Structure formats: structure tokens, C-alpha cells
Homo-oligomer: A and B are copies of this chain.
Amino acid sequence: MTRLADLLSTVFERRYRPSPPLALQDLSLAELAEDLIGSAGETSGIALAGEFLCRFDRLDDDEKLTIFRHIATAMDIDASAARAALDAYQHAPSKVTYRAYVEKAEPRRQELIRRLNRVPGATGQLVRMRAELLRLGGKEPALAALDLDFRHLFVSWFNRGFLVLRPISWESPAHVLEKIIAYEAVHAIDSWDDLRRRLEPGDRRCFAFFHPAMPDEPLIFVEVALTLGIAGSIQKLLAETRQIIDAEDADTAVFYSISNCQAGLAGISFGNSLIKQVAADLSRELPGLKTFVTLSPMPGFARWLQERELSDDILEPEVLRALAALYLLAAKRADGLPLDPVARFHLGNGAMVREVHTGADVSQKGLNQSVGVMVNYLYDLAKVAQNHERFATHHDIAASSGIRALAATAQKNLSQDKPI
């Protein structure tokens, strides 16, 4: 925890550091975990939990796997006890039988994780612990079950209602900014100067979700460019030589990068809320903003073309655009959802496919993955709920009429040749 966080929100936490009773040092990690579950009260529990967390951090990978496996198996559900408690509750529903059932139905390792979390600052450590579990766990069923327990609790702890949206700017603390540099996953930030170019100009914004128990750790962040009109090239959007406009004059906010920061929060989605909240907020701060779009990669497009042996045909930008539209609207997985992962994300949020651009990302990565094509997903706050509903229920993809027409052209041309 930082000095700042310490001062502002938890000034007293850090100070209460009784050295661990000697006895604790003689216990193994497994014994500590067992005692923590059994501990009658909170008093010794915090010391036990603190000792456990502190020692876990110093383990090597093999030792970590060992303790994970121990927790996963030794603290699994007692199936017969759970079954008996269920029978008792079903037979005679009451406060007593339900309390017994709730206790037995849940593996003790969930209670272990909750008790570890009593130590001030433990939440971040538990998130990192799950990241280690995911890294080391592979496909082991027992560890997958332990991971589900972590996930079950994290869904509750990182509930949307607990998250705080904060702007990230050049005035943000350096120890937070260095994490933005480290976590940017879409368009890498090379240096502090590069970071400043993303944050300081008047036509740039950045926002992140934070959890109050991890005040120095962004969970997810989005970078925004304020523009006149919808941007169709990431290089132009980020060009240092661009004309920097006044935020008040912008009519469009372009979400050009969204990055998750915590491997230990895998599977707990924040991006949906983040984009919509930022859009809602920006529209209030800057009433001139009328359009909220992404400028997104199409990471599966190049491979999809290759699989259709279409790579050589695409000299013409218009042909490429049409194929891109077709890819977004028609290329599906077995479950009926779009093949493209970015498309799944934004369409699942209720966005619509607004436009596609060729030559839009001429970086090596952009050419390799997407043949340089990028796509604007439009977030129309008045329609996201409805779009989302149709997508979730019927897998209907919302798209502009231009995109529909493009896709139809491509379909027609292809069908005369070979099917997709």
C-alpha cells in the first residue's frame, strides 16, 4: 500500500503490526490455514492470516502448487455432510437447518479465502494469489474448482457497486501511471514521454476502475481521444503532429484502447460498465459530444481470410472493406456468436458495427492480425440495452445500413465463387 493510500483511507491500518506470536512461526502453511478456519474469534485469526499471506509470497512455484493442492483437496466439500444437511433442511426448513446447510454446502476453502481477506490490504494479495493459481494450475480439476471458489468470491467483492471510476491524467500519481504503462495491452506505451502524449493533451482522456481495497491498482482502463468526426486510422489518431483540438469543440469520443490490469480477476468483466459509464460521463462534461465509438482491431480477420485463401484478392480497399463487414456480421463460432473476440465483447455490450476502415492500423501487429483493417463499434446509449438484449437472446448483430450493404456485396461476390 502506498503512503498516499495509507494517509487518505486507511491511516491507521499500517500501524497495527504486532509481531507474530512465536508459536505461529513453527506452524506449516497447511497448519496455519487449518487453524485459521478453526479459529474461534477474529483476534488470533488476523495474525494467522497475516502470517499465511506473508509466507505465501515467498514460496517458489512448486511450493505454491503444493499448498494450492492441499487447500483444494483438504478443504473440499464434505459431500455426505452436505447431503445430510440438505436432507435435513428439505425435511424441516428452519433457521437452524438452513444455517447448517449453508455451512456444509460450501467448501471450507471459501471460508479460508474470506478469512485471509480480513487482513488490511489482503484483497490485492488474494488477487495475485489467484493469478498464480491460474498460471500454475493448468487443467487439474481440483485446482480448477479452487479457482472457481476464488472467482465466486471475487464476483461478490468486485461487484459493480463497489467499484470507483477515476480519471487518469498526467496529474495522477506516478506509481499508478507506471501501471498504466505496464498494463496497456492494445497499443503499447513506450516511455513516460509516450504516456504523457496519451494523457496530457486537451483532446485525450483516460479512465480506470478502482476497488477501494486496492486503491493503487487500476482494474481496467480505457483511453479516449476526442475528435471531430469518427477516426479511421489509429496512427493518425495518435500522431504527435495532429492538430490538438479543444475538448469543448469535439463531437466524437473514440475509445481506442481498453486494457485489463489484473490477471487474477480473469473472468470478471468490467469493460462493459466502464465504457458505458465513461460515455455517460463525457456526454455530461462535454455536451458537444454526440458520438461514442471505438476504434478496434479485428484480431481474427487475417486468419479468416487465409482460411478462405482470399489473401491475394484484397488489393482493392473496397473489396477488403466488404470482406471485413462480412467477417463481422457472418463469421460465427459453433455457438452462434461472432468469431471475432473483440466483436463478441462490444456487441455483447450492446454496441453496433458502425464502420470499417482499411489502412487503419499499419503497425506490424495490425497488418498481421487484421490486414490493417479496423472497425468502429458505436455505443448509442439510447440503444445499447435493446441491442444487447437482441444479441444475447437471438445473436442478432446490430450494424449500420452501410455495413449491411457492404457485407451483402461481399456475400454475393463470394457466393458466385465459393461459400464462406
Contacts and interface: CB of A to CB of B under 8 A. Distances in A.
Interface of A: 2-5, 7, 9-13, 15-16, 18, 21, 40-44, 46-47, 76-77, 79, 82-83, 86, 89-90, 93-95, 98-99, 101-102, 105-106, 114, 117-123, 141-142, 144-145, 147-149, 152-153, 155-157, 159-162, 164-165, 167, 169-175, 177, 192, 196, 200, 212-213, 216, 269, 272-273, 276-278, 280-281, 284, 348-350, 381-382, 384-385, 388-389, 392-393
Given A123-B161, A164-B212, 7 more contacts: A11-B165, A41-B392, A43-B384, A82-B86, A153-B156, A170-B175, A174-B196
Contacts of A3: 167, 169, 171
A82 to B, nearest CB: 6
A97 to B, nearest CB: 8
A47 B385 contact: yes
A322 to B, nearest CB: 30
A152 B93 contact: no
A99 B216 CA distance: 32
B167 A16 contact: no
Contacts of A278: 12
A332 B117 CA distance: 34
Which of A43, A381, A393 has the most chain B CB atoms inside 10 A of its CB? A43
B165 A13 contact: yes
Contacts of A106: 105
A195 to B, nearest CB: 8
A350 to B, nearest CB: 5
A385 B393 CA distance: 55
A393 B18 contact: no
B4 A269 contact: no
Contacts of A153: 156
Among A4, A10, A102, A148, the one with the most B-chain Cβ atoms within 10 Å of its Cβ is A102
Contacts of A114: 155-156, 159
A141 B93 contact: yes
30 contacts: A2-B171, A4-B169, A5-B171, A9-B164, A11-B281, A12-B165, A12-B281, A15-B280, A16-B281, A40-B393, A41-B272, A41-B348, A41-B350, A42-B160, A42-B269, A43-B276, A43-B388, A77-B86, A79-B89, A82-B86, A105-B105, A118-B160, A161-B213, A164-B212, A170-B173, A170-B175, A171-B173, A171-B174, A171-B216, A174-B192
